[in-house]
A and B are shown apart, each in its own frame.
Chain A
Amino acid sequence: MRICAIETSCDETAVAIIEDGKTVLSNVVSSQINVHQAFGGVIPEVASRIHVENISLVLKEALSEAKMNLDEVDAFAITHGPGLVGSLHVGLITAKTLAWYTQKPLIPVHHITGHIYANNFVSELSYPMLALVVSGGHTELVYLKEEFNFEILGSTQDDAIGEAYDKVARVMGLSYPGGPVIDRLAKSGEAHYKLPKIKTQNPFDFSFSGLKSAVLQLVHKQTEDLNHEDLAYAFQEAAVGELMLKTRLALDTYPVKHFVLAGGVAANSRLRELVLGLNEEYPDIQITIPPLWCCTDNAAMIGAVAYIAYKHGVQADLSLSANPGLDYA
């Protein structure tokens, strides 16, 4: 089954053709990052406009890379939430138009489930599975008792981890997006600054606003020049440490066969290192991290999960609408 997947939930216009949820026939992503960098964040109206500019080119490129005609596509998959409503609309109209014109099924996808099932490109997934989802909009521990069955064990009570990185980067006068910059600086940093411990009510929940405030205080209080490398190190160790702490707790509490990392922040080098390190502590649990190309938003992952969703009977009609605050569990 060849699925043409479309993803426009934020600032990437992406189309991919995926065969049987596993084989990437094409994966085209047109990023707007350079435009939004100038504003220090994504401007929704600008993002929607650029999606309209790019959509036909990206579609054509995805089909030609896969050496396919439109009528050889078996189904169309679309991210219908969560995300920016204006951006979601462009992809949604595209997918609905194509599904109608070709009279093929339309498969609605929750963006985060795409990130989780991106790991399907790396290895066969087994259940029960635990996923640590880390991105600019999400930070959560998701338990999948069986295939395509999602239960959120805990989530962030304030900022998402990616958001926290962006905010800290801004406070430190670094560029947007904050994740890669802080990750790079932290590599040459040392333990020097002390940041407070994080507390949450639900043991599986996360919180990052306290860390952000602590960094802000340090920046404001400091009379001599702050050591950026050391501050980045302190923040990264604290933030990533919080993720690992809650992950371990979940792995100790639930019968997990497979643990996967998911989302944009899965590209963080320190987090990848620590997650792979879990192997020694939990030798019976299979551990998978997504390939770097699949951490940023793309449509390949949407095609991967759409195949699973379709097997589970998920299909939408042409009245499908964008849902910026869509839930999946």
Chain B
Amino acid sequence: MITLGIDTSFHYLTLVLFDEEHVLASVQKEAFKKQSELVLVEIEQLFISAGLTPTALEAIVVTDGPGSYTGLRIGLTIAKVLGSLAHIKIYTLSSLHVLAGIEKDIHVLLDARAKRAYYAHYQQGNVVEEEQILPIEQLAKHISFDDQLIGDGALIDRETFYPDYTEHFIQLKDKWILVEDIDALVPRYLKTNEAYQP
């Protein structure tokens, strides 16, 4: 199954074209606020370098949130358009989960602005603490100094670190959620759900 992984939820534009277990082509680049301009150019490039035509595409796995509202809409719109008109299967994956991959024990922290951050905790690809939005102050206490951390660590005086996560899309295959009603697919904005009480 020729599958395209798409993540436009945060700073990166990350695209992975793969076939069952093998990555055919991928790109992960810093593209904050440039994703809309670059995304189709990069997708086209991926297919060319893999020697595939666009119609070879059979499935898309896209991160549906949380993250930048504008960013999320980019990946989700591509998925909705192709899922509804080209009969391509659409799967979603959490944008925090894809960063974590199948790391043994990992905390993910991403800037949500207004002194808040998106946070989740995973072990070997499984959810330990659900993704949520929390005040940075609270997270600074919650995450201990020995905890392995991915993302905007600088927010809590740790190192900011992003892994190469292109392979994670394949590694987390059993976490993909098949989208049954493609028209109803929308980003999980998270903030509006009031996932946290101050």
Contacts and interface: CB of A to CB of B under 8 A. Distances in A.
A56 B87 CA distance: 12
A86 interface: yes
B124 to A, nearest CB: 33
Contact of B84 (A53, A59, A101): A59
Contact of A90 (B54, B77, B82, B83): B77
B43 A89 contact: no
Contacts of B82: 97, 101
Contacts of B194: none
Interface of A: 45, 48-49, 52-53, 55-57, 59-60, 63, 70, 86, 89-90, 92-94, 96-98, 100-103, 317-322
Contact of B70 (A53, A86, A320): A86
B37 interface: yes
Contact of A56 (B37, B54, B80): B80
Interface of B: 36-41, 43-44, 53-55, 57, 69-70, 73-74, 76-78, 80-86, 182-183, 186-187, 189
Contacts of A48: 69-70, 73
A93 B42 CA distance: 13
Contacts, number: 88
A56 B182 contact: yes
Contacts of B81: 55-56, 59, 93-94, 97-98
17 contacts: A45-B69, A49-B73, A53-B186, A55-B81, A56-B84, A57-B84, A59-B81, A86-B70, A94-B77, A100-B43, A102-B54, A103-B53, A317-B41, A319-B41, A320-B37, A321-B36, A322-B36
5 closest A-B pairs by beta carbon, nearest first, are A56-B84, A318-B40, A96-B40, A93-B77, A321-B37
B116 to A, nearest CB: 17
A246 to B, nearest CB: 38
Contact of B40 (A45, A59, A97): A97
A317 B43 CA distance: 13
A171 B84 CA distance: 45
Contacts of A57: 84, 183
Nearest to A6: B81
A49 B65 CA distance: 14
A55 B85 contact: no
Given A52-B76, A60-B84, A100 B183 contact: no
Given A90-B73, A98-B85, A101-B55, 19 more contacts: A49-B69, A52-B80, A52-B186, A55-B77, A55-B80, A56-B84, A56-B183, A57-B84, A57-B183, A59-B85, A60-B84, A70-B86, A93-B78, A94-B77, A97-B40, A100-B44, A101-B82, A319-B37, A320-B37
B105 to A, nearest CB: 35
A313 B186 CA distance: 36
